[in-house]
């Protein structure tokens, strides 16, 4: 069972969007997949309520501690959607449950400044420092050829966590969420540019680089 945590202390950075698309991707690939929604707003579970019955099933699990205890043992992938404001002990507890961590960051001055602080806190957690959990950064909702994206791109490239992908700002993510689908489940004529942007993240997740160091 592999646990993938999508987290950032900054709210509104697209954690639920990425978590739901990840869960849908693994499910569509034939893996038994669970989605743990730790956010009080329950955005991930709301997405799941809209999921059509004829698509690959995703098991929704509310809560954090209680939720992780009730994840089916048959689950091969567990995607954890974390709440905003995860710091200190709460962040350490979230990381303690994960082998892989994805940190989405938006192209705004506030988010860029917060990213450096959050990554520093993440790297200070023993499990990450000892490489028993691997983390990666994703630029989210970007508009290419803008000054703010250039700034975000430069800052993320300098941080001591791999910067593996950037996702454009697109209506496809809204379309997918409203239908209970992942970005990979939209028709190719609509979503092929987004699929291409997801390829580096999927490749990283499939590689040893995203796997914890053997104890």
Map residue 74 onto helix, strand or coil: coil
Could you read off the pLDDT tens digit of each residue along the chain, which spans 215 residues? 999 999 999 988 999 999 999 999 999 999 999 999 998 888 999 999 999 999 999 999 988 665 577 888 999 999 999 988 888 898 999 999 999 999 999 999 999 999 999 999 999 999 999 999 999 999 999 999 999 999 999 999 999 999 999 999 999 999 999 999 999 999 999 999 999 999 999 999 999 999 987 65
CA dist 19 and 25 (Å) reads: 10
CA nearest to 80, candidates 91, 88, 191, 89: 91
Adjacent-strand bridge partners of 59: 34
DSSP conformation class of 56: P
Q: What tokens were used for 156?
A: 């993320």
């Amino acid at each position: 069972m592999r646990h993938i945590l999508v987290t950032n202390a900054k709210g509104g950075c697209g954690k639920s969007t990425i978590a739901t698309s990840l869960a849908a991707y693994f499910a569509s690939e034939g893996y038994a997949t669970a989605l743990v929604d730790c956010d009080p707003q329950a955005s991930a579970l709301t997405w799941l309520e809209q999921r059509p019955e004829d698509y690959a099933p995703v098991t929704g699990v509310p809560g954090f501690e209680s939720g992780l205890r009730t994840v089916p043992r048959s689950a091969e992938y567990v995607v954890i959607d974390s709440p905003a404001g995860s710091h200190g002990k709460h962040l350490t507890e979230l990381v303690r449950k994960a082998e892989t961590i994805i940190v989405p960051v938006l192209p705004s001055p506030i988010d860029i400044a917060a990213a450096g602080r959050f990554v520093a806190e993440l790297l200070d957690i023993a499990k990450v420092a000892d490489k028993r959990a691997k983390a990666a950064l994703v630029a989210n909702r970007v508009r290419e050829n803008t000054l703010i994206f250039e700034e975000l791109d430069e800052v993320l490239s300098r941080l001591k966590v791999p910067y593996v992908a950037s996702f454009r700002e697109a209506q496809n993510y809204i379309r997918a969420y409203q239908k209970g689908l992942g970005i990979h489940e939209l028709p190719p004529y609509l979503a092929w540019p987004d699929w291409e942007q997801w390829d580096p993240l999927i490749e990283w997740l499939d590689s040893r680089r995203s796997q914890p160091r053997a104890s």
